[in-house]
Structures are given as structure tokens and as C-alpha cells.
């Protein structure tokens, strides 16, 4: 029977001729220069993996003490993205028939110096320029080169993950460029010129971030006159991996298991090569900022949009669970609770940074949760912005929780508190309740936020079971330990007041009045009167006063 729309049914040969071949672009010989067997492609993949891992480490290690809110949030996102790409690359390297995988090895000592320098950058502009102008840009260029050099048919699994990585590196790079343009003027740039060119030299000495250049090409131009280079050109070209004269790489802190073990290092030094990572680099360049061991700063800092960071004058939970109040003003308390979650990334980053030696899946899961908590904080920010409320003026977002946990508890104890709080959010009066309040308030944005917030918490409870619960004999013991750690935390309500750190000002009536003006309604006098603080009620509602 003749088919409608076809004047003539094409033959099989004709169809074959018309179909695009998905392998057309791989016929050229030029597409075969990266050989997996020779270690070229694999060596580069290991370097990208190392770069993502180090970027993740730096974003985490610098997030808590970074005062700028936008950067704090961006570091949360970018750490999560880097953790995801590092995980994908680890999986891919595992497929490439070259055991041992050497994923914990440092691929090049100058690459190690490069990232250590950025980790130790003393100012935010230097940190941002090191991260976004140097590391992210070099990693992006390396992966773009990989796509040009590899064979897209034989190496398709790598090509695919490189393409995905590029999408997010591009986003990170754009964000970084915009932030730097906002922060760095010409004087500021002038002051960091020398250090930025030192970072370039580190990359050059490492053969580029991807190591694609030969050893001879790695020696920076004008190297002999370069003050940062401590060794002769001959030594640089021939010498085995050696520590810098001022500081051995062995002295570096190893917060997330980035460095090779002692045994691995000896093997590297004997062989003069990085295992599975190609020929040795020239001598290690002399360190600048990283000449002294990096000191991790776990004390949270905030910018001027958080003018009263010890204020615990408005108890959100008591208001939220009071049945006599209507749902509408409760949405304000929920926006406050969400925005206050900025302290969860600050606290979680300290757990991640100070818990070395766990499987990469641990860092990946914890980083995902950390980013979710940053998203929750931004939901609160968007909620206030949507109502036209100037939150830095009207809402006092404190950092008392992250400050107390980070300075009073060990990393496992902080995790215990987080687990205890998150388990408390699962029953009826937790996230479901907040979602129901939001639905009843007819604030569509609040309902949307609480819907996703609840879903995220279910994932976080799973992450807690996977990485915290396993440390205990039974779930009851894990919860009891979390309760005990939380009870030990001193929230010095009165002490902070006496020291003049805060007056615990009741900012609620002003916020509520402002919202009512925007809603076009008269304030409810009973809601206006609300003045319960965290001073006296905390003992009874201790499990509700934390962030998660
Ligand atoms: Fe949360
Ligand atoms: Fe959470």
C-alpha cells in the first residue's frame, strides 16, 4: 500500500546514505594524538581530577571565614560542582586498566605549589584571582585541549565527562570574572601582579595544568632571572621530584587526603616520576604564601549585612509552633529560618576540612548537603526580596550556631549535632509542618521553598545514616551522642549581652509591620507583641533551635 506523504519509498541503501554518521569526525589522524595506552589521556585525566580535588579543598577551607555573603554561597556551589566532577573522573580513571590508580598521588610538585599558594592567599581578592583567573581558567583550557587532542570515538566516555565539566567550569569562570571585576581595582591588581605571575610560573613549570607540555617546555621564560626559582636549569630539567628548600611538601596540611602517603612519596622520589602521571617536573619552585603551613580558620565571619551576629532576640520556633498565630506571619519566620541557614555551610565546611582520609563519596555527599543548605539560605533571602523587605536592616541573621559548634566541638561532635537536629526534622512537626504552614499561608513562593526544603532534608537524613550512623553500634547510641554533644554547647546569651556583642534587640515588630505595609493589611496586635527570645525557652526546645 502506498504511504501518504511519500511519493516514493526510499531504498535501504538510500537511507544509509542520508543518515548522519555519529563517527564521521573521528576519521582524521589528527584526532588520535592522545593515547590511553601510552598514558597521555589518562595522565591528563588524573591531573584534572587533582585540580578538581584541590579546588574543592580550597573552596571548603576558605568558605567559613570568608565574610562576603555572595562568595560564601558561590564557594558552596563551586565546591559541590568540583566534588561531583572529581567523582566522575575517579570513576573514569578506574576504567582505564592501569592499576594502581594513583588518584591520591600529586601529579606534579609544581602543581601542588600552585594550589597550596591559592589555598594560603591572604586576601579575598588574591584568593578570587588565584581560584577563578588562574586555576579555573587553566583547568578549562586543559579540558578544552583534551577534547581537541583525543579521539572522540575511542575515548568517548572521557569526552562526555569533559563536556559536562566544561559547562560548569564556564559558569564558574564567568562568576569569578564578574566578582573580580567588582572587587579588584587597578591598585589592588598592581599589588598582586608579582604573585599572579608566580602562579603562572608554577603552571609553566608543571607543563601546564594538564601537563601536556614537555619537560623542556615547562621551564618558565627568564627562569634564570626569576627570583622564585631556587634551582639551576639543569637540575630543573633532570632532577627528581624534590621538596622546596624552604619547606617540604611533607609538612603541608592534608585536610582531605590529597597528598600521597609516606610510602608513595618514597617510591616517587626513588623513581623520579609521579606514579601513573608521567615524567617528573623540573625542580619545585620556592613558595610564597604557602611557605608556612596553612592555618585553617574555622571561625565564621560575615560582612556588614549581618550587623548583629550574636542577636538571639527572636525565637522563630516558638512562634512557628504556636497555634494561635495565623500562617501568614509564620512565612516571615520561615524566611528568617531559611536565611539563618547560612551558618550550616559555615559549620559543615569545618567538618569536611577537618575530617581527612574518608572515601571520596563522603566528601561528595557532604558537599552536596552543604550546597543544599546554602540554597536554603538563599531561599530565605529571595523570600524577603520578593516582599520588598530590606533584610539586612530588618532581620538580624546570627552566626551563633556555627560559631559555637566550630569553636567548642570536635568535627565528629559537630556532625553528631547536625545528625541529631536533622533526625528531629523528619517527624510530623518538622519539615512537613513547615510545608503545610506555607501552603495555608497562600504564599506560593514559601510553599515552593518548603516543598524542596523538605525533599532536601530527606536526602540529608540519608547522608547522615550513610556517613555518621555507621560510626555507632546502633541508631539510639548515635542519637544519644548527638543530643549529648548539643547539650554541651554553650550559647552564652547573657554573656554576649554583658560583653556588648549584642543587646538581643527584638527586631520582629519592625519586620512584621514592614511586611503588613506591603501586604496592605493592618498588623495584628498580638503578633506585634511577640517577644520570646532564645534565652529562656532554649532548654525545652533545644532540638529546634539549630539549623539544618
Ligand atoms: Fe536546610
Ligand atoms: Fe539539612
Could you tell me the CATH number of the domain that includes residue 130?
A: 1.20.1260.10
Task: Please give the average per-residue pLDDT across 150-156, as a whole number.
Answer: 92
Q: Which residue has the cell 573580580?
A: 180
pTM for the complete prediction?
0.85
pLDDT score recorded for residue 282: 61
> Over the stretch 471-515, which tens digit does the pLDDT of each residue have?
899 999 999 999 999 999 988 888 999 999 999 999 999 999 999
- The model's confidence at residue 33, banded by pLDDT at 50, 70 and 90, is low
Distance 464 CA to ligand 2 centre (A): 10
Distance 255 CA to ligand 1 centre (A): 25
Residue 94 near residue 270 (C-beta atoms within 8 A): no
Choose among 271, 143, 113: nearest CA to 204. Answer: 113
One domain, residues 343 and 213:
no
Considering the domain boundaries, does residue 136 fall inside one? Answer: yes
Residue 261 near residue 197 (C-beta atoms within 8 A): no
Task: Please give the average per-residue pLDDT across 123-150, as a whole number.
Answer: 97
One domain, residues 190 and 328:
no
Instruction: Tally the domains of the chain.
Output: 2
Distance 545 CA to ligand 2 centre (A): 13
- The model's confidence at residue 420, banded by pLDDT at 50, 70 and 90, is very high
pLDDT score recorded for residue 36: 57
What residues does the ion ligand 2 have nearby, CB within 5 Å?
A: 460, 548
Considering the domain boundaries, does residue 251 fall inside one? Answer: no
Task: Identify the domain boundary among 196, 223, 250.
Answer: 223
pLDDT score recorded for residue 8: 66
Number of Cβ within a 10 Å radius of residue 71? 23
pLDDT score recorded for residue 402: 97
Residue 415 near residue 465 (C-beta atoms within 8 A): no
Distance 428 CA to ligand 2 centre (A): 16
- Out of 57-66, 74-83, 208-217, 382-391, which region has the weakest mean confidence (pLDDT)? 208-217
> Over the stretch 266-296, which tens digit does the pLDDT of each residue have?
433 333 333 334 444 568 899 999 999 999 9
pLDDT score recorded for residue 209: 95
Give 58-113 as a 3 state SS string.
Answer: HHHHHHCCCCCHHHHHHHHHHHHHHHHHHHHHHHHHHCCCCCCCCCCCCCCHHHHH
Considering the domain boundaries, does residue 241 fall inside one? Answer: no
One domain, residues 184 and 330:
no
Considering the domain boundaries, does residue 514 fall inside one? Answer: yes
> Over the stretch 334-354, which tens digit does the pLDDT of each residue have?
999 999 999 999 999 999 999
Considering the domain boundaries, does residue 268 fall inside one? Answer: no
Taking the C-alpha atoms of residue 51 and residue 139, their distance in angstroms, rounded to an integer, is 7
Task: Determine the structural domain holding residue 490 and report its residue range.
Answer: 316-528
Taking the C-alpha atoms of residue 493 and residue 60, their distance in angstroms, rounded to an integer, is 29
Considering the domain boundaries, does residue 250 fall inside one? Answer: no
Considering the domain boundaries, does residue 542 fall inside one? Answer: no
Task: Identify the domain boundary among 203, 223, 243.
Answer: 223
- The model's confidence at residue 224, banded by pLDDT at 50, 70 and 90, is very low
Distance 66 CA to ligand 2 centre (A): 21
Rg from Cα positions in the chain: 27
- The model's confidence at residue 190, banded by pLDDT at 50, 70 and 90, is very high
What ligand is nearest to the CA atom of residue 374?
Answer: 1
Considering the domain boundaries, does residue 302 fall inside one? Answer: no
The rounded mean pLDDT for the chain is 85
Which three cell numbers mark 466? 550513610
DSSP 143-156: HHHHHHHS-TTTTH
> Over the stretch 233-266, which tens digit does the pLDDT of each residue have?
333 233 222 223 333 333 323 333 333 344 433 4
Distance 504 CA to ligand 1 centre (A): 24
Amino acid at each position: 500500500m502506498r504511504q501518504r506523504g511519500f511519493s516514493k519509498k526510499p531504498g535501504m541503501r538510500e537511507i544509509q546514505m542520508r543518515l548522519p554518521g555519529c563517527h564521521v569526525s573521528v576519521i582524521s589522524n589528527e584526532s588520535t594524538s592522545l593515547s590511553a595506552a601510552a598514558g597521555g589521556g589518562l595522565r591528563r585525566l588524573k591531573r584534572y581530577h587533582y585540580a578538581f580535588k584541590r579546588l574543592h579543598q580550597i573552596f571548603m577551607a576558605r568558605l567559613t571565614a570568608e565574610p562576603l555573603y555572595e562568595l560564601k554561597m558561590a564557594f558552596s556551589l563551586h565546591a559541590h560542582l568540583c566534588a561531583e566532577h572529581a567523582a566522575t573522573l575517579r570513576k573514569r580513571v578506574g576504567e582505564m586498566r592501569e592499576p594502581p590508580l594513583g588518584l591520591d598521588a600529586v601529579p606534579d610538585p609544581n602543581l601542588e605549589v600552585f594550589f597550596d599558594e591559592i589555598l594560603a592567599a591572604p586576601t579575598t581578592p588574591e584568593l578570587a584571582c588565584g581560584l577563578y583567573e588562574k586555576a579555573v581558567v587553566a583547568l578549562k583550557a586543559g579540558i578544552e585541549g583534551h577534547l581537541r587532542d583525543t579521539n572522540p570515538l575511542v575515548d568517548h566516555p572521557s569526552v562526555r565527562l569533559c563536556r559536562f565539566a566544561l559547562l560548569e567550569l564556564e559558569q564558574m569562570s564567568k562568576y569569578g570574572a564578574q566578582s573580580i571585576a567588582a572587587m579588584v581595582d587597578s591598585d589592588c591588581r598592581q599589588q598582586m601582579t608579582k604573585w599572579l605571575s608566580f602562579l603562572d610560573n608554577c603552571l609553566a613549570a608543571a607543563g601546564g595544568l594538564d601537563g601536556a607540555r614537555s619537560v623542556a617546555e615547562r621551564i618558565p621564560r627568564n627562569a634564570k632571572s626569576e627570583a622564585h626559582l631556587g634551582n639551576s636549569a639543569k637540575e630543573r630539567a633532570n632532577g627528581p621530584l624534590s621538596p622546596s628548600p624552604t619547606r617540604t611538601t611533607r609538612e603541608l596540611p592534608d585536610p582531605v587526603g590529597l597528598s600521597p602517603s609516606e610510602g608513595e612519596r618514597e617510591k616517587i622520589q626513588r623513581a623520579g616520576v609521579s606514579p601513573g602521571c608521567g615524567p617528573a617536573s623540573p625542580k619545585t619552585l620556592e613558595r610564597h604564601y604557602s611557605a608556612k603551613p596553612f592555618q585553617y580558620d574555622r571561625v565564621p565571619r560575615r560582612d556588614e549585612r549581618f550587623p548583629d551576629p550574636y542577636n538571639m532576640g527572636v525565637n522563630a520556633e516558638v512562634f512557628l509552633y504556636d497555634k494561635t498565630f495565623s500562617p501568614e506571619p509564620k512565612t516571615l519566620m520561615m524566611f528568617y529560618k531559611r536565611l539563618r541557614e547560612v551558618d550550616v555551610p559555615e559549620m559543615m565546611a569545618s567538618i569536611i576540612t577537618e575530617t581527612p582520609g574518608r572515601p571520596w563519596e563522603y566528601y561528595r555527599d557532604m558537599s552536596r548537603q552543604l550546597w543544599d543548605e546554602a540554597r536554603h539560605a538563599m531561599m530565605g533571602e529571595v523570600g524577603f526580596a520578593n516582599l520588598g523587605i530590606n533584610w539586612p536592616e530588618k532581620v538580624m541573621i546570627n552566626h551563633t550556631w556555627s560559631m559555637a559548634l566550630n569553636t567548642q566541638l570536635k568535627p565528629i561532635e559537630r556532625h553528631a549535632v547536625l545528625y541529631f537536629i536533622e533526625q528531629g526534622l523528619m517527624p510530623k512537626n518538622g519539615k512537613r509542618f513547615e510545608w503545610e504552614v506555607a501552603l495555608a499561608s497562600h504564599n506560593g513562593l514559601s510553599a515552593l521553598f518548603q516543598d524542596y526544603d523538605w525533599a532536601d532534608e530527606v536526602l540529608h537524613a540519608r547522608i547522615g545514616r550513610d556517613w555518621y550512623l555507621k560510626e555507632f553500634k546502633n541508631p539510639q547510641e548515635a542519637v544519644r551522642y548527638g543530643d549529648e554533644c548539643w547539650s554541651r554547647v554553650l550559647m552564652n546569651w547573657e554573656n554576649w549581652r554583658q560583653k556588648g556583642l549584642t543587646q538581643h534587640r527584638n527586631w520582629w515588630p519592625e519586620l512584621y509591620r514592614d511586611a503588613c505595609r506591603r501586604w496592605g493589611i493592618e498588623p495584628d496586635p498580638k503578633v506585634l507583641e511577640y517577644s520570646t527570645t532564645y534565652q529562656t525557652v532554649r532548654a525545652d526546645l533545644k532540638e529546634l533551635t539549630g539549623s539544618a
